Structure 1
Amino acid sequence: MNSKIKTLHSWKRISLIEEEIDLPNGQKITHTTISHPGAAVILPIAENGDIIVINQFRPSLKKWLLELPAGTLEDGEAVEVCANRELEEETGYSAKTMISLGQVTPLAGFCDELQHLYVAKDLTLTRRYACDEDEVIEVISLSVKQLEQKIISGEITDAKTIACLSKAKLCGYI
């Protein structure tokens, strides 16, 4: 289906690619896509039912975002391994139970990223590992009601957080 792929720019594990694509209607187009290896998004549920979230400074937006821990897959890394690694790196918790909620496609119009959603249970506080150099993170514990209020008020705008929380609630985990 794809006859020609050209990498326009690469940064970390993300690339901007241009490719010729045959559409289902027979039309040929040149489409530009951000190629992304995928990510894991984790909803950590504490023993008391609170959700562990992070307040992270996002340089792209130049502001703090309240969000669930998440991170990009390393080369050849299994998704659940990524979920466990990111949970511990960003929050200092490890989980005995990691439940897959499936995946979401956050930016399908211009990016091929798949975000794999997880519920993390049976948490143990270990230690936070060194974050990436561009990560400034505070760990916070909030009730589900508090999280929902922050979504309603617009304090939480992060799409992956809203999607994972919604899917976990619809599936009966919270």
Structure 2
Amino acid sequence: MTLSSSRKTIHTWKNISLVEEPVTLPNGKEIMHTTIVHPGASVILPIDTDGNIIMVNQFRPSLNKWLLELPAGTLEDAEAIEECAKRELEEETGYSAEQFFSLGQVTPLAGFCDEIQYLYVAKGLKKTCRYQCDDDEVIEVVSLSLQELEQKMISGEITDAKTIACLSKAKLCGYI
């Protein structure tokens, strides 16, 4: 069977697309695969001078509930990854940071999405002002100790995968 070589965009929202295209698997089998094409995102673990972590409690319409998570956001057109982290930190929390440390990347939804999330630790926080959030963002800023945060992960109060991944990697790398 030979599949059509055309790539078809099924739907676009903001700068994310749902795309269907033929793919040849490593075993030679040809399939039609649907992928969410995503520009990538930055995830930020902001640590204040007292060692507390700045979080966002964000209403997520997809789940119709609030999620306690680290600040994060999607890369904009031709934006550098660290610049995205700086912008999102300030937009969502009202803090800037003197230092950003890269923790590498994670692939959160590899079965159907090409998004890569770039993880950062932010230190040397300074209070600025929160910029206007996107129309679909309702955010409360929360400060938690590492112990409080870990307890919320254990209890299941924190379920956000990017938050758990970033916190885990930061701890393994000795940042917290």
TM interval, shorter chain, is over 0.9
Superposition CA RMSD, Å: 0.9
- Correspondence for 1:158: 160
1:137 corresponds to which letter in structure 2?
A: I
User: What do residues 110-156 of structure 1 show as CA deviations (whole Å, max 9, x unaligned)?
Assistant: 00000000000000001100000111111010011110000000000
Report the secondary structure of 2:86's partner residue.
Answer: helix
**Residue of structure 1 equivalent to 2:87:** 85
Unpaired runs of at least 5, structure 2: none
* Cross-structure match for 1:37: 39
Q: Per the alignment, in what secondary structure is the counterpart of residue 154 of structure 2?
A: helix
Query: 2:122 aligns to what SS in structure 1?
Result: strand
Partners of 1:97 and 1:50 in 2: how far apart?
16
Q: Where do 1:1-174 residues align within 5 Å? A: 3-174=5-176
How many residue pairs match? The answer is 173
**What's the CA shift string for 1:86-111, capped at 9, x where partnerless?**
00000000011001100000000000
- Which structure 1 residue ranges, 4+ long, deviate > 3 Å from structure 2? none
Counterpart of 1:43, as a letter, is L
Offset of residue 4 of structure 1: 2.6
Show structure 1 runs of 5+ residues with no match. Answer: none
TM-score normalised by length of structure 2 = 0.97
1:3: how far off? 3.5
- Within 1, Cα distance between the matches of 2:155 and 2:86? 30
Q: Counterpart of 1:57 in structure 2: which amino acid?
A: F
What amino acid is aligned across from residue 19 of structure 2 in structure 1? Answer: I
Q: TM-score, normalised by structure 1?
A: 0.98
Distance 1:81 1:170 in 2: 25
Q: What is the percent sequence identity of the aligned residues?
A: 75
Helix, strand or coil at the partner of 1:107: coil
DSSP-derived class of the 1:169 partner: helix
Alpha-carbon shift at residue 5 of structure 1 (Å): 1.2
